[in-house]
Structure 1
């Protein structure tokens, strides 16, 4: 295991005591440290902590022995979202109260990967979210005993699975004349929603120390540039004539520009302005579910304008508090499992423990 593992694993072990330090040193990049109040339990509103803990308890109780979830949709993507929810809590992933849940979930997700292609199946949405979860777990979860007691003949480590997943995404992109992704790994068209899921997975993998070709990131960003109007609106597929007010797509565009460190682009400034001008509401998700919008909107605003995010986050907390069910789940457009994980991850920005949530 590379040196990156030992450093990040040590930091994760002491995360609850050294959260501000861990947030800045997780990948040895002190220049990206958070302000002192970020990432500490004391700064997290009580309502957020209570909602998040209840949501995690729902995931614990509804997880099956094989690591998947009752009412789960999305295959490896649904499992990956739950993995990120546990990691985002700040509990030690190797010895904390959710360590067993994480281990079973990781085994379940990795088992769904095709060993010859690295594809997780389902769609490139699934590929993107699975990659993102693996990247967040890589180096934080000690996988030396991940497969202990498992009858699974194929037992790859997290890093091996992540490298294979990255290779599959890059191979798919090379087949695509638009330099992006859609549902099928062999697609020759693209859309900004599926492409956003894959690109965020690649960016997270690169941040975790996995080799991702610069050309792959550049081509994907170029696709987003073409799909972004001067107004800041982001088209779904087809470009000109396909722009409308989809805060989900605009949030995805803002987020990928920010995490790819392309805040110099006028398209980034346009999408961010569009979001910040509308933080009090308005706009449809453009994807069939508001929780999908909130998941991306939380990250985009936090990456782009912390003051705007703080104002928006208060409304988010109020909204989610009003719709959380007694068992800790959130009812939404995608079934209890996906709706709950997306809702929790939109709250997880308050914790700042996931590396992809660092600014």
Structure 2
């Protein structure tokens, strides 16, 4: 479902900008089926696993939940019908994943608070229209504490690019004051590691993944994509 969530996000942004009637109709058909699958793949607890609930014996975890919610929200923004109960159940799943320290655990079954998933969960809540509720505020405080070092601090727990793909969205949505504090050190670090051919190779996933995420972070405040706009 990781790829499914990112595909919904990507295609919904294309759909919103596409002017050709035939291609729009095809994209609408694909996205409608994608939303339907997403609802069917959701587990009884409201989350998602790496495959559908049926194929994965109802296993679910936090990071896949985030990709589905952001993809669903992007589809809804583009005019594709999305059942409200699917998103409501996902938001409730995130609440149930919260640990006493305010962070989000790996899954509803435990696993300890994870700064990367916690940052992604805030973006997920913001995408769901929940900015000022208690859950979002607790998560913000947790991330402010655990990501206080910005560019360097995040290296300590791994998944730097995943973390800042979502935390950049959060900081941008919080407004100019937060963004102006967050973005300069992050962008400076990213630009300092770019290769001569324009790519980035740090991390253990591969240059395509790293380059795509770094480019997205650097372009968040350009407002090109509806899902990242304030």
Q: TM-score, normalised by structure 1?
A: 0.58
Residue equivalent to 1:195: 65
Query: What's 1:268 paired with?
Result: 136
Structure that is richer in helix per residue: 2
Matching residue within 87, 91, 108 for 1:217: 87
In 2 relative to 1, CA 199–126 (structure 1 residues): closer, same or farther, beyond 3 Å?
same
Deviations 1:47-98 (A, max 9, x none): xxxxxxxxxxxxxxxxxxxxxxxxxxxxxxxxxxxxxxxxxxxxxxxxxxxx
Query: Is 2:119 aligned against 1:251?
Result: yes
Report the CA distance between 1:160 and its aligned residue.
1.3
Q: Distance in 1 between matches of 2:179 and 2:105?
A: 24
Change (3 A) 1:330 1:143: farther
Distance in 2 of aligned mates of 1:300 and 1:247: 13
TM score, norm. by length of structure 2:
0.89
Q: CA-to-partner distance for each residue in 1:231-250, whole Å, 9 max, x for gaps?
A: 3211012444x223x33111
Runs of 4+ that moved beyond 6 A: none
- Given the alignment of the two structures, is residue 158 of structure 1 paired with residue 35 of structure 2, yes or no? no
Asked which structure has the greater CA Rg, the reply is 1
| Inter-CA distance 284–193: structure 2 relative to 1 (3 Å threshold) | farther
Q: Does 1:357 align with 2:228?
A: yes
Matched residue SS, 2:60 = coil
The 3 A distance-change label for structure 1 pair 228 and 305 is farther
Gaps in structure 2 of 5+ consecutive residues:
none
- Which whole-Å CA distance do the structure 2 matches of 1:329 and 1:167 have between them? 36
- Is the Cα–Cα contact under 8 Å of residues 181 and 191 in structure 1 kept in the other structure? yes
1:1-359 matches, cutoff 5 A: 124-144=1-21, 157-173=26-42, 176-185=43-52, 186=54, 187=56, 188-240=58-110, 242-244=111-113, 246-277=114-145, 278-281=147-150, 282-283=153-154, 289-332=159-202, 333-359=204-230
| Structural RMSD (CA) | 2.0
Conserved in 2, the CA contact under 8 Å of 1:279 and 1:308? no
Instruction: Point out where structure 1 has 5 or more consecutive residues left out of the alignment.
Output: 1-123, 147-154
1: distance between equivalents of 2:71 and 2:173?
Answer: 17
Corresponding residue pairs, total: 223
Structure 1 position 161, deviation (Å): 1.1
1:285 Cα deviation (Å)?
8.0
